[in-house]
Structure 1
């Protein structure tokens, strides 16, 4: 029995796909092991959102060679689709599979025997236009939360982004099949499903034709028995309709937590990025959410240093973010990506200036997060406890994404508990009392 190990770089969508591919191997009789347990086969699922992701791929290949110099190394994922020839020349790589091939790698690579006579790795990467099939995927490595892929690809030509080139056009499975997958997940005892994809608000396109929409999907998922929480991972502001917001506000299963990419608070930069909204619409979405769900957690993606972003435009973005009733930021520093329109936009922002702007927004994010956590103190929430245990403490999240810390108790793993939020510790987590038994969990 051959042993196979997986390493995933990038987003939760990649993690869900890696998990599904690993189950394909296990069904064929392979033994799944950890990366450092001398596997016969290494599968590395890559990201290419930033330059650092490319460098990380090369580092993981080197580590695989140290662990087992005779191991077979296959590279899949976004970087593999965008740069197959470049990856094939990395010492130690045996195969590179593109977006249309990665779910067939067990079939395509056969016995996973190294070809010592080949000067470079085998490349199986079709043009991205051929990546038209949809493969439903979900992670099962964490028995408390599962990331369920509901959509793939993207039809939005943002100037800084390579994802359409790496994953192809927007496509989805049927509502029926997604609901079926959610029921299968529920049977495994999972309490929370996080819906993920490239552009999940665009759900419903099958074979190039719209068959349904995201609102229909979440209404159907809301009826799935056994899942106590559904969480929407990220949704474009122009696709986050009032109807979706109202439905989440009235749902018992969809939690009050939205992650809404903004990318810039400057309308001029949004135009240069070819985003499909302006900041006024974004502000309307935030205000609508807070009017219906005052305690809702709202996360924001923002990019600093995009070409054309002068200091004045950055400060417009900073001031806009500061004015919004949001809970945290995910800050990305712009990096040049081949074959993107942003390469032709001037002026470029010096890397030192990009780093300083990123630092400023990280500080703002910490302030926003602290203020949000403080607003939740002295309230009662429900926590789903996770398996993550560090230093005798366990963590979990409330329905509105407040991270809490409690003394480790194995009986609490994957349990929903009503707790009273009492204070913020030095690590930035919230301390709680358990309400239903009036027991102190942490002090």
Structure 2
């Protein structure tokens, strides 16, 4: 009977969380559980949480309530960043049966078995300083593109961020192990691997604050001489870690896609200083200009935060003007959200919430125009598109090498194929 237990998993937050949820699902399947859609009635629900914003915490609580309306007898397991940062708060949510911290999430199959056998221990957690190991993770739900975690944790101390408290020191997989895992993933039919991490450019740290003899550039260089996947994509890389060597390698590579996602957070040097970011706007501009000089067709994404404490209207307009001037393709805009135990809580003046949202709307409108301009600039050109198998309302989607989304009527013959496609 136990072997027939069904488990539904759900991811909140980033692509790294998505890769970890997939890995937890495989661990549970290997232990005899049957995974099912989160929309279905299941015996056990697993929610892999994020805690970057206050909204992510709220979303977790709402999901638990939704689960218990649908399946009141089901067990609920919470893991991820929220579970590590606030285990007691999570455990106090009505309906939560088990809370797994950062060191325990990849033992989820054992903990769920124990729970079914009557173990009443609700919280399994530890101090984040004790979490120094690396567990590889990758998603295989979509056999087209895979998100593969190769780096974990962060040694930076940005004043608004709780991620180092939730995930620990920077550490990564060995290059040799990355290549072996790539071989397995490719054997499953995957055409594109997206490298993910908390601070991907810091690849090569050992989890104790020290560098090893490996780094991200060496990994990318190793890929050039490895059969592996048809396409690799860098999910996100800090501007101060995006070396000229990496940009030159991508410019010459047929395997690493011409697409960078580079967090900016603010176009005001004053705010960057308050955020404890490790660069200033001049460096960011220099990186974008070098990319566009060597790879004119490159897609460039930007992360930016609005309404950070101390951000005046003048500071925001400095960010707006800076982003307007940059030759980039799109932004991910985040409205600042207060997080417990961060230095940013002591910075004044606090920007009113309604003003934060107004600034977010302005930047999202600018991002929309940037995206349309980038797409128009490539209209009439032919680029390689990898079409994904999933479809909705009779349409399927794919992405060009430089990250332009293409939607076409569903055609099974295009699924998981890289084709030359004329952009409209």
Query: Does the pair score TM above 0.5?
Result: yes
Listed as ranges, the matches of 1:239-250 within 5 Å are 239-250=241-252
Q: Pick the aligned partner of 2:68 from 57, 65, 68.
A: 65
How far apart in 2 are the matches of 1:171 and 1:299?
25
Please give the secondary structure, in 2, of the residue aligned with 1:367: helix
Please give the secondary structure, in 2, of the residue aligned with 1:253: coil
How far apart in 2 are the matches of 1:236 and 1:252?
23
Please give the secondary structure, in 1, of the residue aligned with 2:386: strand
Residue matched to 2:102: 99
How far apart in 2 are the matches of 1:231 and 1:14?
17
Residue matched to 1:366: 368
Bigger shift: residues 11-20 or 105-114: 105-114
Please give the secondary structure, in 2, of the residue aligned with 1:21: helix
How far apart in 2 are the matches of 1:345 and 1:25?
44
Residue 290 of structure 2 is aligned to residue 288 of structure 1 = yes
Residue matched to 1:76: 79
Residue matched to 1:42: 45
Change (3 A) 1:144 1:403: same
Please give the secondary structure, in 1, of the residue aligned with 2:249: helix
How far apart in 2 are the matches of 1:290 and 1:111?
55
How far apart in 2 are the matches of 1:32 and 1:421?
39
Residue matched to 1:206: 206
What's the offset of the Cα at 1:110? 2.6
Please give the secondary structure, in 2, of the residue aligned with 1:255: coil
Please give the secondary structure, in 2, of the residue aligned with 1:44: strand
Contact preservation (8 Å) 2:251, 2:258: yes
Listed as ranges, the matches of 1:191-230 within 5 Å are 191-208=191-208, 209-211=210-212, 212-230=214-232
List per-residue Cα deviations over 1:230-282 (Å, max 9, x = no partner): 00000000000000000011011001000000000000000000000000000
Please give the secondary structure, in 1, of the residue aligned with 2:115: coil
How far apart in 1 are the matches of 2:224 and 2:149?
16
Residue 36 of structure 2 is aligned to residue 26 of structure 1 = no
Residue matched to 2:91: 88
Listed as ranges, the matches of 1:31-430 within 5 Å are 31-113=34-116, 122-208=122-208, 209-211=210-212, 212-422=214-424
What's the offset of the Cα at 1:40? 1.2
How far apart in 1 are the matches of 2:331 and 2:39?
34
How far apart in 2 are the matches of 1:90 and 1:115?
20
How far apart in 1 are the matches of 2:373 and 2:347?
37
How far apart in 1 are the matches of 2:219 and 2:159?
29
How far apart in 2 are the matches of 1:207 and 1:61?
33
List per-residue Cα deviations over 1:309-329 (Å, max 9, x = no partner): 000010011100000000000
Q: How many residues align?
A: 419
What's the offset of the Cα at 1:114? 8.2
How far apart in 2 are the matches of 1:253 and 1:340?
39
Contact preservation (8 Å) 1:72, 1:114: no
How far apart in 2 are the matches of 1:207 and 1:60?
33
List 4+ stretches of structure 1 deviating above 3 A.
Answer: none
Contact preservation (8 Å) 1:8, 1:44: yes
Q: TM-score, normalised by structure 1?
A: 0.93
Contact preservation (8 Å) 1:97, 1:125: yes
Change (3 A) 1:150 1:239: same
What's the offset of the Cα at 1:207? 4.4
Bigger shift: residues 385-394 or 259-268: 385-394
Bigger shift: residues 383-392 or 255-264: 383-392
Bigger shift: residues 391-400 or 244-253: 391-400
Contact preservation (8 Å) 2:79, 2:101: yes
How far apart in 2 are the matches of 1:162 and 1:207?
17
What's the offset of the Cα at 1:407? 1.6
What's the offset of the Cα at 1:388? 2.8
Q: Which has the higher contact order (CA 8 A, sep 6+)?
A: 2
What's the offset of the Cα at 1:123? 0.7
How far apart in 2 are the matches of 1:260 and 1:165?
23
What's the offset of the Cα at 1:369? 0.4
Contact preservation (8 Å) 2:170, 2:207: no
How far apart in 2 are the matches of 1:335 and 1:281?
26
What are structure 1's unaligned runs of at least 5 residues?
A: 423-443
What's the offset of the Cα at 1:115? 6.0
Contact preservation (8 Å) 2:149, 2:195: yes
Residue matched to 1:438: none
What are structure 2's unaligned runs of at least 5 residues?
A: none
Q: TM-score, normalised by structure 2?
A: 0.97
How far apart in 2 are the matches of 1:271 and 1:207?
26
